[in-house]
Structure 1
């Protein structure tokens, strides 16, 4: 049995970056490829009344420190060495996410995706500054002028809105969100359950003879 597995992401989420690093291992172990679904996190927050941990944890004693500890545990568990906090966080990701949809339409999603994450969370930059945005992608060999123009077309804008609204309809309230079939999981710390669900849903039923 095959199962559809989706990774709903916004480049502005550090937890989505960290979770994505672990996806390759899950794909290798299960033989199932993830579908990468760009969504606009700001749109999801607006539709659900949610807010980023950056805002929700402000002023709470001990919880931010514990969240940081959990992040370090995740980084060690998965051997993540390139991650750097972005000093310009939070970054408005509208340009980045429209670019992701445009890159999917144009068949250049993988290099665009890798470059975007590199400049957001490995060599962090202020990626909502148009000049920095353009320079960063050009330095990674991306034809960003063509993609930026494509990203301004109505079909790209409408697709990102559609993907974001569909995510909310299905129960999403943040990023990273995963769907294994119709089963939703939220957060990088649920990846073990994501993998378990993939295995359960792809397990072939034992044939019975009369």
Structure 2
């Protein structure tokens, strides 16, 4: 949608009472705003209602008061849903999409941030350089509801202590089968050790550094 059309749709939703005033740059909620009540209104939604139930459950520790931004026009709060809807018959597809964006963004604002780790491995085998990197999501948190963001496609599995993993790599010299064992340390570091590389019938032992 163009910015002009988006604002027109937002004005429609505002005039009908479904979202707050859209022409604002305020990015911090007043301490007087009852955020829990706003969230609770979405509890029965067929799509994100289950996430709302988790968010309101103190046992999940998913709730987080939103961060305060640097803008406050003193007249309007940040854009947020003001009335529940599972979809109105008179809405266009764009009305549905924009309402969903506002709700999901608001729920993300009161959720814990996502937590992840990145692992980078560099290997020197008989003068040949190999490297691999990837991310491990430790806790998705707000990403469970805010589907408009992702951490890309370079994901690797979440490894556990003592697990043995085999990776098959292809290059111009043939197949490399990497067998490695590793431990997950309490301080959050990944320790790779005992890497055995089988290459063209020869076996090389490579010691890998710690990767955060």
What TM-score results when the alignment is normalised by the length of structure 1? Answer: 0.24
Structure 1 or 2: larger strand share? 2
Structure 1 or 2: larger helix share? 1
- Compare relative contact order (CA 8 Å, sep 6+) and give the higher one, 1 or 2: 1
